[in-house]
Chain A
Amino acid sequence: MVSELPWDAHTGTLKRELAEGMLNPACSHALEAALQVKEKHGGHITVMTMGPPMAEEVLREAIALGADRGILLTDPRMAGADTFVTSYILARAIEKMCPDFDLVFCGCHSSDSETAQVGPQLSEELNVPGAAYVEKLDLEGRTLRIRRLSDNFLETLEFELPGLVTLTTRHYAPRYVSLSGMQQAFEHGEVAVVQAADLKLDPEFTSRKNSPTRIMDVFAPVAQNKNLVMKGAPKKIVEELLEKFDDKIGGAIGKDLKQAT
């Protein structure tokens, strides 16, 4: 993902050279969950990203943290993909490079576009059970038990591997990268580059042409300077305030107000 979204209205794409790429926060939680599963149960972690060549950096960072190998899907023909085409390409890559996968870990959404669509679409493409907004997971044999947030409820679900989960940022706080890990990731980390031809995509296929949806524009909403005066008894006003704005206030201070009241 990118740190900012400078939009080029002419080409209908992101001005990537102005924004700095970074590992998506939710994905770093997903990676941490995967690392903990590997520490507890063993396993082999492949990290994958689709993007411009500079996206290799996040793969190296993941390898520094403990992933075993990285796959960079990069090709001009893949650029400008919407979430549908992204999921399609990722699925073909997983089928080719990780055919015997047990569990795919995704971030619940990217912090730049926040569609949260790729994870669920990917599980459909791979034809495996998938669960989104997972907070905690436990593996027993081939059964994965997950706890996830759905509206304001917590659900506990189970499915048999292989499957896919998308992780929220509530748990699995990412560990820091060690500098020795970083050095070794760059020195002898395994990163494979995969292009459209390697996936045997249709020769006529390009993401831009084949994406069923197109982003028309990206803009920051103008802050509203509307004064709201609430009159009445303090207790009533506070209740009304929380009822109308608890999500906005909670979002601003980073706390779940429903839990506090």
Chain B
Amino acid sequence: MDFNPTMKHNAVRKTVRKFAESELGPIAHEIDRDARFPVEVIEKMQPLNFFGLQVSREYGGAELDTTSYAVAIEEISRVCAGVGLCVTVHNSVGAFPIQRFGTPRQKERFLPLLASGKAIGAFCLTEANAGSDAGGVETTAVKDGDGYIINGTKIFVTNGGVCGTALIFAVTDPENPRKAASVFIVEKGTPGFSVGEIEDLCGMRSNPVSSLFFEDCRVPAENLLGREGDGIKIGLTALDTGRIGIAAQALGIAQGAFEASVKYSRERQQFRKPLASFQTIQNYLADMATEIDAARLLLYRACALKDSAKPFSAEAAMAKLYCSTTATRITNRAVQIHGGYGYSKEYDVERYFRDAKVTEIYEGTSEVQRMVISRAVLSKLT
């Protein structure tokens, strides 16, 4: 059991940190304030393989191990969580399902586009009546000749406003909705597929989250991912990987808020002493450091299991649960340490505070993560 990051992990961390601090650091505040998706930085990220972090080299990806992937997402999110969200969702649930379940032809058609970032990926499961209850999906995909006609509305789609390909979770057998759901690859520009207005959200505001509308949208049969009825399987597998990405994102947010708190505690003086000399603040910092370290170890353990091709669902759920709840706790504490200034947009911590909250909600709420973990606990024989 070696808990030390390898030289490669350190090198990946430094390189992504340098990019994030140079390119996203100066604009993070502005793009959050204006809810702007920074296309100019996305274009710089494309040749650096940020959109194909774990895609195979033959399709233009970097083929990184999962821990390096987590490090990359953490470092982007430490500076700008909204862009970190774009990158992790694109990689984990936009590209990965095609890499894992796609036919050779589908992989050839879509992976190079996705890995190069020319198409941004999105994953569409949530609907007005189907959040945690994925079985409540009402979008239908009815077979029609050599294709399917899709009808329905997907909401809260991360990257929705800019996606080039979207993976749509739809019911293919309306008689039996809880069994026969399938996943379809739908490309931007397909007639009947349109994008709604960008949501006005509390945090992650640089990410173009929107609804996607499907009105008699016809997709060819070759765009079905896997087989009819594979929807649940693909969905669960995608979400396992997605959880690692979101955990990394939450960890990055927590880390950024923590570092800001340490810096502020050293500099800010009250009662003629730096805040860091007061035991209360020292206790806060000690707790924050410990929780982040625990979150980090949980995350890397899930990454190591995935890379050893061992089951990792419960561990990924633990990592997601703990990293996200740690992020909300730490960012809350960070605002407190900054006092009045922490509440002002002149400092970054209030953005971290707003960004952190949703990590407890998307890609499976904390409550759903607990369902996964308790199921694993109770299914053990002893």
The answer for the CA separation of A176 and B63 in the assembled complex, in Å, is 18
Q: Does A57 contact B (CB under 8 A)?
A: yes
Expressed in whole angstroms, the Cα–Cα distance for A65 and B328 within the complex equals 38
Chain A residues within an 8 Å CB radius of B44: 176
Closest A-chain residue to B11, C-beta based?
A57
Instruction: Establish whether residues B11 and A182, one from each chain, have CB atoms under 8 Å apart when the complex forms.
Output: yes
Which of B13-21, B101-109, B137-145, B301-309 is near enough to bind chain A? Answer: B13-21
Interface presence of B217 (CB below 8 A): no
Q: Contact at B57–A180, with CB atoms within 8 Å?
A: yes
B8 at the interface (CB under 8 A from A): yes
Tell me, yes or no, whether A139 is within 8 Å of chain B by CB.
no
A186 proximity list for chain B (CB < 8 A): 7-8, 11
The interface centre, meaning the residue of A57, A64, A180 with most chain B CB atoms within 10 A of its CB, is A180
Across the interface, do B11 and A54 meet the contact criterion of CB distance under 8 Å?
Answer: no
- Main DSSP-derived SS at the B contact region: helix
Q: A156 at interface (Cβ–Cβ under 8 A)?
A: no
Could you say which residues of chain B place their CB within 8 Å of the CB of A11?
none
Q: How many residues from A make CB contacts under 8 Å with B?
A: 16
Assembled-state Cα–Cα distance A179/B14 (Å): 11
A183 touches B68 (CB 8 A): yes
CB neighbors of B among A6-32 (8 A): 22
CB pair A179–B47 under 8 Å, yes or no, is: no
Return A169 CB to nearest CB of chain B, in Å.
15
Which residue of A57, A178, A180, A183 contacts B10 across the interface (Cβ within 8 Å)?
A: A57
CB distance from A209 to the nearest CB of B (A): 31
Instruction: Encode A36-75 as 1/0 by CB contact (under 8 A) with B.
Output: 0000000000000000001011001100100000000000
- Whether B8 contacts A179 by the Cβ 8 Å rule is no
Q: Contacts A179-B72, A180-B63: A54 and B12 contacting too (C-beta < 8 A)?
A: no
Residue of B nearest to A180 (CB): B62
Q: Which residue of B10, B47, B49, B72 has the most chain A CB atoms within 10 A of its CB atom?
A: B49
Q: In the assembly, what is the distance between CA of A64 and CA of B16, in Å?
A: 13
B64 at the interface (CB under 8 A from A): yes
Contact sample, A vs B, 5 pairs, CB 8 Å cutoff:
A64-B15, A176-B15, A178-B62, A179-B48, A180-B62
Query: Contacts A64-B15, A180-B52 given; 9 further ones with Cβ under 8 A?
Result: A56-B7, A60-B7, A60-B8, A61-B11, A176-B48, A178-B47, A179-B49, A179-B64, A180-B49
